[in-house]
Structure 1
Amino acid sequence: MVNFLLERTAPLPPDEAWRRLTQWPRHGEVVPLTRVTVETAEPTGVGTVFVARSGVGPLTFDDRMEVTLWRPPVSGAGGLCRLEKRGRVVTGWAEIEVGPGPGGRSRVVWREELGFRFLPGVMDPVVRRVAGYVFGRAVNRLLRRG
């Protein structure tokens, strides 16, 4: 199990940064070899379930997530979303925090605890490095694209 933290400042108001980061199917557009399917009806809120399926051919795995905290930014206050990973292979949680930043920008903090069942702990440094790169790139792309 690895923990990592990403911090970004985006030239967007917090509500727009939040919208871009929490449109779950868009994550599949920015994470290689991944497709995201939302299994529950809109709008997103506590109880929303979605699955990120990653891989190629028979080498695929599902990252099934459920929204357990949903507090969008309002009236200058920051927002927080917590996702619990409920899959058979991928475990852990993620938190997306969006709030006001300097100069009318948004401050984004992405915290995650990520684990893969059946993967030995000796692989944690590799998982941390790859996850930081992949998720960092995904967050950057999500924030850039409207």
Structure 2
Amino acid sequence: MFDQEDGELNVVIGVLFGVIALVIALVIGIATWKLGAANAEPIAATPAAEFTEVAEVGEPLVKFYFGVGETAMSANASADLETVVAAVEAAPEKKVLLSGFHDETGGAAVNAEVSKNRALSVREALLEAGVPAERVLLRRPAVTLGGGDAAEARRVEVRVQ
């Protein structure tokens, strides 16, 4: 008699723990989704925002760094923007090439979207700074994972070539 009650009690406890685990996973999933949606700022669609296959030449002129899951540029990026604008004005035959990267945080689809939106954010800032849209190219890097240091990995590299 006690064996049957123990067995039934174990089943009830197992089901109860399963339901609790599902509720916790749902709460964490919703919180993560809302946090990601809050940090992701929509980028206005502008003409010629297509990714191209252009070879990178030389080292990046500047690198813009981002926080985890963030796509908005930091407030202290104006000096680097001015550097890019000056380089573009000095070489009217050259174009600006942007490549976005990400760290290992998050899933592959989310990371691809984040690195793309980071590059679009830098593109938008350059357009606002006066760089003509036809001179700004977006390049999808062969490997968007930025390397060992997570802070270094969350970046957009800018080349004038």
TM bin (shorter chain): under 0.3
Q: Which is higher, the Rg of structure 1 or of structure 2?
A: 2
Answer 1 or 2: which has greater strand percent: 1
Q: TM-score, normalised by structure 2?
A: 0.25
Q: TM-score, normalised by structure 1?
A: 0.27
